[in-house]
Structures are given as structure tokens and as C-alpha cells.
């Protein structure tokens, strides 16, 4: 009956639990925007034989312009990714001795994640209680590491295609054939995954209704939601007496409202892109 403990904490009223710092939130927003621009400009080429693709290209003026936008967005996305790596490295280095690679604050997958996957499926089928999660759920970890995979695969093939003369000076020509396929298919995977699975997990589940979930814009979650979604972390922190460290004021109304508008706008753009990709996929498979 852990909830009874916090019910007695006076700090809880009007407070939220902080999950994402300002820099991470800005990074996520820039990352999302650059990825959306990459999807728009890339899919218009990947699905060039749809009716919508030439319209997008006309809006940009020419595939040359769209190409510049694509590469600029890629540069932003990759910069954020590498800056994030630096940030993570600094954090770990500072905390080198205390950092537990498989601990609850680490994003490295551990056995508990596999148990949670199993537990969730049992819950889905009505054969067990809903598992409780610590700081990072397994789907959040998947989202995180999927970006590594995506960056590696889409980024490296994109670089090969963007600098063909360098590529072809030490690699055979078939790498362009392979890179084109991998770049496009992996981008399709990323786009569809983001706008279906990621959107569902964070915005469209019945418990998250109505969308959007603004934690990635305000940085904090209401205590009720925190207790529900990260029960294990909550318990752990209450027991260690560390919860107060993470309590922040409820964000001002303007920030919450702005975050909601921003969240809905991004969701709308994402779903539109999803429709365009589906139209492209269907028309390519019926060709």
C-alpha cells in the first residue's frame, strides 16, 4: 500500500515529477522536427510515382532544394545524436563508480525488461496483473536503442549516397544499390514505427486519452500518472527518501497549453506523413 505513504507527504500537492531536463526536451523537439522533414523530403523521392510526391516537390521547387533540406535535416539530426552521445558519456564518466549499467536508471536492457515483456503479454491476455515499471519501461528502451540502429543504418547509408565519389573510391558500385534499398526500407520502418507504435504507446493508449502526452515538452508528469506508469521507481524513491529531489511545480498553464498545441501539431504532421507513406506503399505494391 505504497500510495498511502505519499498521500501523507505535504510536498505532493501541486507538484509534478520531473522526467526530462530542458536540454533533452529541446533535443527531442529538434530531433522530431528534423526527422519529420527527412521523412517528408525522403518519402517524396522514395514514392515518386504517387500523386502526392510531385506536389511536395513542386512546393520545394525542385528535388535539388528538397535534397538540401534533406541533408540539412540529416546534419541536425546526426548532430543531436552525437551531442547526446557526448552528454551521456559525460554523465556516465562523472558517475563512473556509482553508475550501474544494468541498474534502474540505466537505459541498457536487463533481465527485468524481458520479464516485463512476458508480464505485459500475460496481462494483455488477462492472465496476470499489469507489471509495474521503474524509470524506463522496455518500450521506452526500445525507442531509445532503435534510434541508435536507425542512426547507424540510415545515417551511414545516407552518407554513402551523399558522398558518392568518396564511397566509390574505396567501395564497389553495388554498395550504392544496397545503400539505396537499406536507406529507404529502414526509413520506412522508422517512419511507420514512430507514427504508429511510438504514437500509440505515448499518446493513443486508452490511459493516455485524450492525446497528447506533454511530458516531453513540459518535462514533468502529474504525481498520479507517475505513480501509475512508473510505480517501481516511485516506490524505490519514496523508500530511499529521494522523491522530493524530483518534485517540481506544476508547469504554468501557458506552458501546458503551448505544449498541448505543439504536441497535437506534431501528432497531426506525423499522422499526415503516415498517410502519405501508406498511400505510397499501397501504390508501389499494386504497381
Partner 1 sequence: MPANRHDQAVGRLIERVTKIIMIYIIHIIKFAIMATVICFAGPLTIVQTEAAAKEIAGGHEIAAQLPKLDNATCLTCHDASKGELKATETNGNSQLPHGIDNIRLGKSVHGEMQCIACHKEITDIAAPHKKGAGQKADCIQCHLELWEAAKKENLTKEKARLGVVVRNIETYKNSFHARPNKEDKSHVNAACDDCHNSHTFNVPPQGTSRRTDWHLTIPNVCGKKCHTDELEEYATSVHGKKVLEEHNQKAAVCIDCHTTHGIANTSKDTFKISITENCGSCHTENLKSYRDTYHGQVNKLGFGYTAKCYDCHGSHGILSPKDPESKVHPDNRLKTCQKCHKEATQGFVTFSPHANTHNLGRYPQVWIVSRFMWALLAWVFAFFWLHTGLWWYREARDRKARKNHPDWRKETK
Q: Shortest approach of partner 1 to residue 144 CB, angstroms? A: 15
C-alpha angle with apex 145: 197 to 135, nearest 5 degrees?
A: 80
Sign of CA dihedral 206, 211, 217, 221: negative
Is 171 a binding residue for partner 1 by CB under 8 A? The answer is yes
Question: Left, alpha or beta for 13 (phi > 0: left; psi -120 to 50: alpha)?
Answer: beta
Q: Shortest approach of partner 1 to residue 236 CB, angstroms? A: 15
For partner 1, give the closer residue by CB, 99 or 200: 200
Q: Write phi, then psi, for 15 (nearest 5 degrees).
A: -110, 155
18, containing H or E segment: strand 15-18
In 112-239, beta strands by DSSP E: 220-222
- Binding-site residue total for partner 1 (CB under 8 A)? 60
Q: Shortest approach of partner 1 to residue 274 CB, angstroms? A: 13
Is 78 a binding residue for partner 1 by CB under 8 A? The answer is no
What Cα–Cα distance (Å) separates residue 118 from each residue in 129, 230, 231, 232?
A: 11, 17, 18, 17
Query: Of the ranges 55-63, 97-105, 108-116, 265-273, which one interacts with partner 1 (CB under 8 A)?
Result: 55-63
72, 176, 246, 260: residue in contact with partner 1 (rule CB under 8 A): 176
Is 164 a binding residue for partner 1 by CB under 8 A? The answer is yes
Query: Of the ranges 25-33, 90-98, 104-112, 224-232, which one interacts with partner 1 (CB under 8 A)?
Result: 224-232
Residues found in the chain: 287
Is 84 a binding residue for partner 1 by CB under 8 A? The answer is no
Q: Shortest approach of partner 1 to residue 181 CB, angstroms? A: 5
Is 161 a binding residue for partner 1 by CB under 8 A? The answer is yes
C-alpha angle with apex 156: 152 to 157, nearest 5 degrees?
A: 120
Q: List, in order, residues 6 or more apart from 139 with CB less than 8 Å away.
A: 197, 201
Residues that bind partner 1 in the complex, under the rule CB under 8 A: 1-3, 44-46, 48-49, 53-54, 57-58, 62-64, 120-121, 123-126, 129-130, 132, 139, 161, 164-178, 180-182, 185-186, 188-189, 192-193, 196-197, 200-201, 205-207, 227-228, 231
Amino acid at each position: 500500500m505504497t500510495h498511502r505513504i505519499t498521500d501523507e507527504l505535504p510536498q505532493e500537492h501541486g507538484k509534478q515529477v520531473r522526467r526530462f531536463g530542458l536540454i533533452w526536451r529541446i533535443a527531442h523537439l529538434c530531433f522530431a522536427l528534423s526527422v519529420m522533414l527527412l521523412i517528408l523530403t525522403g518519402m517524396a523521392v522514395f514514392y515518386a510515382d504517387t500523386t502526392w510526391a510531385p506536389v511536395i516537390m513542386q512546393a520545394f521547387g525542385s528535388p535539388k532544394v528538397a535534397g538540401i533540406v534533406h541533408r540539412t535535416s540529416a546534419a541536425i539530426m546526426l548532430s543531436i545524436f552525437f551531442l547526446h552521445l557526448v552528454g551521456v558519456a559525460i554523465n556516465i564518466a562523472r558517475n563512473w563508480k556509482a553508475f550501474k549499467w544494468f541498474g534502474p536508471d540505466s537505459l541498457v536492457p536487463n533481465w527485468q525488461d524481458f520479464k516485463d515483456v512476458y508480464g505485459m503479454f500475460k496481462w494483455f491476455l488477462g492472465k496476470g496483473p499489469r507489471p509495474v515499471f521503474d524509470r524506463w519501461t522496455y518500450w521506452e528502451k526500445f525507442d531509445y536503442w532503435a534510434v541508435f540502429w536507425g542512426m547507424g543504418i540510415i545515417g551511414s547509408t545516407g552518407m554513402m549516397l551523399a558522398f558518392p565519389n568518396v564511397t566509390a573510391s574505396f567501395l564497389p558500385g553495388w554498395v550504392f544499390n544496397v545503400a539505396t534499398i537499406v536507406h529507404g526500407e529502414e526509413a520506412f520502418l522508422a517512419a511507420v514505427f514512430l507514427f504508429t507504435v511510438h504514437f500509440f504507446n505515448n499518446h493513443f493508449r486508452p490511459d493516455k486519452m485524450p492525446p497528447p502526452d506533454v511530458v516531453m515538452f513540459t518535462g514533468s508528469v502529474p504525481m498520479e500518472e507517475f505513480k501509475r506508469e512508473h510505480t517501481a521507481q516511485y516506490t524505490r524513491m519514496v523508500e530511499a527518501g529521494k522523491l522530493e529531489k524530483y518534485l517540481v511545480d506544476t508547469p504554468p498553464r501557458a506552458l501546458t497549453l503551448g505544449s498541448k498545441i505543439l504536441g497535437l501539431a506534431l501528432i497531426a504532421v506525423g499522422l499526415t506523413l503516415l498517410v502519405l507513406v501508406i498511400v505510397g506503399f499501397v501504390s508501389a505494391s499494386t504497381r
